[in-house]
Structure 1
């Protein structure tokens, strides 16, 4: 969980987040990655675990955005960077390259490519929805009508 702070703060610096908010980005990454890791350890599918972690990050970001009068994205975007599914995306690309270079389209390679590719897409969708869900569910600036 502590290691998740490094990429979060690094990307926050890259995105020009003000210095006073860097510790909040790191703390949100710490909490979100911890929730995701705990859920995966408890045999929850990684897509649902990523949704839970991103929801926690989105909730913290919404709270801090109201408290500090800053956009929610300042806290949330950098904090979910450690949860991006690099392992599955890399596996998907390696499998595609292997199929292309060797002109070998074995059923197990196609299955592996589809599995890793779909897992990558669903984790990314979970991260996006997890960040947006707290704001959509709990925040109403003014009545719709």
Structure 2
């Protein structure tokens, strides 16, 4: 499947989760953009050979960056965009497989999936922290006005 088609489906998934989370209707497009762009970066990183942990980290960095930018521009809390946008990167399959193998008493596979899931969750958390630690001026844009002081 092409990267752009995957990003489109990620956009739809993000918007769907945004609706479930009762996101204001005027912000749905921006939530979808954040989620789609994050998935695009994740899929691109995976295709160039990065591990799923590093791919999730870079996808999260872009989602968090756009969420913070949209929060300032759209005058909403960052959680409006970040919670919905990050949903496509959450390792749900890893959590499911971990629990499945625990129930089946397959400790080797349970620990394999569990460790991978925890690494991905840490990468997501670290990606968010990296962007939230950046100074505010990196997200605000001021247009310099020309002053006519011809007196």
TM-score by length of 1: 0.84
- Please give the alpha-carbon distance, in whole angstroms, between the structure 2 residues aligned to 1:137 and 1:111: 40
Matches within 5 A, 1:1-145: 1-99=7-105, 109-139=106-136
Q: Which blocks of at least 5 consecutive residues in structure 2 are unaligned?
A: 1-6, 138-151
Shift, 1:131, TM fit: 2.4
Shift, 1:27, TM fit: 0.8
Larger radius of gyration: 2
- Please give the alpha-carbon distance, in whole angstroms, between the structure 1 residues aligned to 2:132 and 2:101: 38
Q: Which blocks of at least 5 consecutive residues in structure 1 are unaligned?
A: 100-108, 141-145
Shift, 1:78, TM fit: 0.3
- Please give the alpha-carbon distance, in whole angstroms, between the structure 2 residues aligned to 1:138 and 1:122: 27
Higher helix share: 1
Shift, 1:35, TM fit: 0.5
**Residues paired across the two proteins, number:** 131
Shift, 1:20, TM fit: 0.8
- Please give the alpha-carbon distance, in whole angstroms, between the structure 1 residues aligned to 2:43 and 2:91: 13
Correspondence for 2:144: none
Higher relative contact order (CA 8 A, sep 6+): 1
Shift, 1:71, TM fit: 0.7
Q: Deviations over 1:14-38 (max 9, x none)?
A: 2221111100111111100010111
- Please give the alpha-carbon distance, in whole angstroms, between the structure 2 residues aligned to 1:137 and 1:74: 19
